[in-house]
Amino acid sequence: MNLFDVYPRYKINIVKSEGIFLWDDQNRKYLDLYGGHGVISIGHAHPAYLLAIQKQIEKIGFYSNSVEMPIQQDLATKLGEQSGYNDYNLFLCNSGAEANENALKLASFHNGKKKIIAFKNSFHGRTAAAVHVTDDQKLSAPLNKEQFEVEFLELNQSEALIKALNDPNIAAVIFEGIQGVGGLDMPSEEYLQLLAKLCKEKNIVLIADEIQSGYGRSGHFFAHQSAGIKADIISIAKGMGNGFPIGGLLINPEIESKHGMLGTTFGGNHLACAAAISVLNTLQNEDLIQHAKKIGQQLSDELSKLPKIKKLKGKGLMLGIEFDFPAKSIREELLFEYGIFTGSSANANLLRILPPLTIQFDDLKPFLFALNEILTK
């Protein structure tokens, strides 16, 4: 049997990892400024993470949600404390798309409505509802196209928002704290404040997709928190498990649960919870959210001294470096000549930087050196 070929891949076989570094099967070392697509939050093979998984699997790795699992409550308590969403409830699942699928469904269960407002350039995943609120027609199969009504708005256009939210049929608005796949654009603080106010007034469920921008990456626990607002549902995945597949929803206590309303076999299993708890412990013990803010600022300051950069986008350690020309050759040169992984986005002119939050400023110097060399050639 061969693999179903849906991923364009670099011809690199990673066999080892530690902290911010990767090694391939030729023993070549790489600096990881991509974090496996923003997943590696506390660094590859972090000792606390390894120990937590090892200790848990020796006891029990998996049992289904048919029994009590106190480890889920431990995770919920820690997540509530650290995120500032203490009074919210937690639903656990396995991936980002699944989190958004359930978020949209839950909003519709809650207010009985079914139109969704999403944003241009959004990416929310590839399951049926999630792909339908994703602004990329290529990702939708014919069966995805005839679903509920979705209206895509331009980010940060207040008048259009006010007009769109006058429609009485809207179940939810879904936005990314910082757009990831779309290219690092983000809602302004004033726009988020307006959005939160209107949603509250109109009983529209506000869904913050923090799958990529959450878990400390922006310098806040969730990127939308810089605006001082609260969403009704926050979807999480990626950095939550540092590579162990886990996702979830933080849910406003006003949204009532009912047995059978949502569910999944693997969601919140013992091993995934152990991994996720070790991530939260490490974020706290190593003060990684403040660290991400500081290092992100230092990196931005240094990048702003380099030539040919049109714009720096994003926040903390979720940064986009935009040029006036396609960034593909820069990305490939960084990888093949200098051994540095970076990411791409729907914006072909942009390099996406998503390193583990444990990275130190000195670790970034080889990248700054390489980028300067490439740009001044």
Ligand X SMILES: Cc1ncc(COP(=O)(O)O)c(C=O)c1O
Residue facing ligand X at closest CB distance: 96
CA distance 275 to 23: 23
CA distance 160 to 311: 26
Buried b (16+ CB within 10 A) or exposed e, 241-259: bbbbbbbbbbbbeebeeee
CB of 297 to ligand X, least distance (A): 23
Q: Which is nearer to ligand X, 17 or 212 (CB)?
A: 212
70-83 and 270-285 are packed helices; what angle lies between their axes, rounded to 10 degrees? Answer: 30
CB of 307 to ligand X, least distance (A): 30
CB of 126 to ligand X, least distance (A): 6
Q: HSE on the CB side for 164, CA within 13 Å?
A: 25
Structure tokens at 250: 């933080």
CA distance 298 to 75: 32
CB of 241 to ligand X, least distance (A): 10
**Chain contacts with ligand X (rule: CB under 6 A):** 95-97, 100, 123-125, 176, 180-181, 209, 211-212, 237
Q: Which is nearer to ligand X, 272 or 370 (CB)?
A: 272
Q: Which is nearer to ligand X, 69 or 354 (CB)?
A: 354
288-303 and 361-375 are packed helices; what angle lies between their axes, rounded to 10 degrees? Answer: 20
Q: Which is nearer to ligand X, 181 or 186 (CB)?
A: 181
CB of 370 to ligand X, least distance (A): 26
Phi and psi dihedrals of 304, rounded to 5? -70, -10
Q: HSE on the CB side for 36, CA within 13 Å?
A: 20
Q: Which is nearer to ligand X, 306 or 346 (CB)?
A: 346
Phi and psi dihedrals of 173, rounded to 5? -115, 130
User: By C-alpha distance, which of 125, 136, 120, 204 is closest to 166?
Assistant: 204
The vertex-85 CA angle with 80 and 89, nearest 5°, equals 70
CB of 250 to ligand X, least distance (A): 15
Q: Which is nearer to ligand X, 241 or 339 (CB)?
A: 241
CB of 360 to ligand X, least distance (A): 25
Q: Which is nearer to ligand X, 20 or 181 (CB)?
A: 181
Q: Which is nearer to ligand X, 90 or 174 (CB)?
A: 174
CB of 147 to ligand X, least distance (A): 17
